[in-house]
């Protein structure tokens, strides 16, 4: 399973790259706004850091023509830009046009298997089911991921599933067990994946025993 980092923070992305845990990045207007920097310069830097890994950038228009125009301009920033398109009928029109032009798309805000099927039919490179938001309203987010993976397998679609809206390490584990192609993970959750009380206890015990060694030369 590939890991994308769900952030626009360049230092966090670099740190994830150094750990070998960043195969790509997903951003949105909220994440970019938190950086306090310009939109284009932020995306350009991120694309350079993770190159050739994909970097998802979101359009703001709601009509197909607006999305297509924005997507073309965004794709000029770097070769590894992927365009986030909302799951709407106009969005699917944009997806079809952009994919035919060789511009990869990531259909976002997917909350049902039918929506995911439509995105696959439109030719999307990626689809992003928002599992955390489904869990928040009492639905089974990971159940949706399983359905989407089965649909893709049934019909041989080239679309990859990006498990999005990840809230905690359990989501990451469940995505991996289901065979999801990608999980896009906030940096704070990525750091938690390393943690286990027995690991911490083991390190503490080893260091304590090391202090008992009379000659520590090696």
pLDDT at res. 45: 97
Catalytic residue list contains 34: no
Between CA 130 and CA 115, with CA 69 as vertex, the angle to 5 degrees is 30
Between CA 165 and CA 80, with CA 74 as vertex, the angle to 5 degrees is 70
pLDDT at res. 79: 97
Between CA 157 and CA 44, with CA 66 as vertex, the angle to 5 degrees is 75
Cβ burial of 166 (10 Å; 0-12, 13-18, 19+) is: buried
Cα separation of 211 and 162, whole Å?
Answer: 47
CATH number listed for the domain at residues 2-210 = 3.20.20.70
pLDDT at res. 120: 98
- What 3-state class would DSSP assign to 56? strand
Which of 162, 195, 198 is CA-nearest to residue 1?
Answer: 162
pLDDT at res. 127: 98
pLDDT at res. 106: 98
The single residue of 34, 40, 51, 84 carrying the catalytic annotation is: 84
Residue 58 near residue 84, CB atoms below 8 Å: yes
pLDDT at res. 48: 97
pLDDT at res. 107: 98
- What 3-state class would DSSP assign to 50? helix
pLDDT at res. 205: 97
| Phi and psi torsions of 7, nearest 5° | -165, 165
Which of 155, 89, 147 is CA-nearest to residue 120?
Answer: 155
The DSSP secondary structure of 107-175, one letter per residue, reads EEEE-SHHHHHHHHHHT-SEEEEBHHHHHHTT--HHHHHHHHHHHHHHHT---EEEEBS--SHHHHHHH
pLDDT tens-digit series, residues 19-32: 999 999 999 999 99
Q: What is the largest CA-CA distance in the chain?
A: 74
**Residue 39 CB partners (closer than 8 Å, separation 6+):** 32
pLDDT at res. 212: 94
What does each of the 218 residues of the chain score in pLDDT, given as a tens digit?
A: 999 999 999 999 999 999 999 999 999 999 999 999 999 999 999 999 999 999 999 999 999 999 999 999 999 999 999 999 999 999 999 999 999 999 999 999 999 999 999 999 999 999 999 999 999 999 999 999 999 999 999 999 999 999 999 999 999 999 999 999 999 999 999 999 999 999 999 999 999 999 999 998 98
pLDDT at res. 112: 98
Q: Domain coordinates of the chain in residue numbers?
A: 2-210
Cα separation of 168 and 165, whole Å?
Answer: 10
pLDDT at res. 94: 98
What is the reported pTM? 0.95
């Amino acid at each position: 399973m590939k890991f994308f980092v769900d952030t626009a923070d360049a230092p966090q992305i670099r740190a994830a790259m150094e750990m070998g845990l960043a195969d790509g990045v997903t951003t949105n207007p909220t994440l970019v706004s938190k950086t306090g920097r310009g939109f284009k310069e932020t995306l350009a830097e991120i694309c350079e850091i993770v190159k050739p890994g994909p970097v998802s950038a979101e359009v703001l228009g709601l009509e197909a023509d607006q999305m297509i125009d924005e997507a073309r301009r965004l794709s000029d920033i770097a070769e590894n830009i992927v365009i986030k398109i909302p799951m709407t009928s106009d969005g699917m029109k944009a997806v079809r046009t952009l994919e035919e032009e060789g511009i990869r798309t990531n259909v976002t805000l997917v909350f049902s298997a039918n929506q995911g099927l439509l995105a696959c039919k439109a030719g999307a490179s990626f689809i992003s089911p928002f599992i955390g938001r489904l869990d928040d309203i009492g639905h089974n987010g990971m159940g949706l991921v399983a359905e989407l993976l089965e649909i893709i397998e049934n019909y041989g679609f080239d679309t990859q599933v990006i498990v999005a809206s990840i809230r905690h390490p359990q989501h990451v584990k469940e995505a991996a067990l289901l065979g999801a192609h990608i999980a896009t993970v906030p940096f704070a959750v990525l750091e938690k994946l390393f943690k286990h009380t027995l690991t911490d206890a083991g390190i503490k015990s080893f260091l304590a025993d090391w202090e008992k060694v009379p000659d520590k030369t090696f």
